[in-house]
């Protein structure tokens, strides 16, 4: 069992309206020292695989096919060995 921590972020050149909105919110709350906010996704994926290399290949495939939009987003992930989920 592996736990993949997947980070999906917009490519640096892509405009991020959600980040701009959060930045505005922070400024209006008085956080004047904030300069930029970019918002991405963070996913934790539990996957059964006998070996790390297989888990890695699967997670890469998942990111390419569903978790990230390759046109505007990029992804990276960390893989760690995990115990089966509680009660699972």
Q: Which residues bind a copy of itself (CB under 8 A)?
A: 1, 7-9, 19, 22, 25-26, 29, 31, 33-49, 58, 61-62, 65-67, 84-85, 88
Burial of 55: CB neighbours in 10 Å, binned 0-12, 13-18, 19+: buried
Nearer to a copy of itself, 66 or 71 (CB): 66
Nearer to a copy of itself, 36 or 81 (CB): 36
| Beta carbon of residue 14, minimum distance to a copy of itself (angstroms, whole number) | 13
| Beta carbon of residue 15, minimum distance to a copy of itself (angstroms, whole number) | 14
Name every residue whose Cβ is closer than 8 Å to that of residue 15 and which is 6 or more positions away in sequence.
Answer: none
| Beta carbon of residue 22, minimum distance to a copy of itself (angstroms, whole number) | 7
The three-point CA angle 22-15-28 to 5° equals 20
Structure tokens at 35: 């300069």
């Amino acid at each position: 069992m592996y736990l993949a921590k997947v980070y999906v972020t917009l490519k640096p050149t892509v405009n991020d309206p959600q980040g701009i909105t959060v930045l505005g919110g922070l400024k209006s709350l008085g956080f004047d020292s904030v300069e930029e906010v970019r918002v991405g996704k963070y996913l934790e994926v539990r996957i059964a695989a006998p070996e790390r290399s297989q888990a890695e290949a699967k997670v890469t495939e998942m990111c390419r096919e569903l978790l990230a939009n390759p046109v505007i987003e990029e992804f990276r992930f960390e893989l760690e060995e995990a115990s089966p989920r509680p009660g699972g």
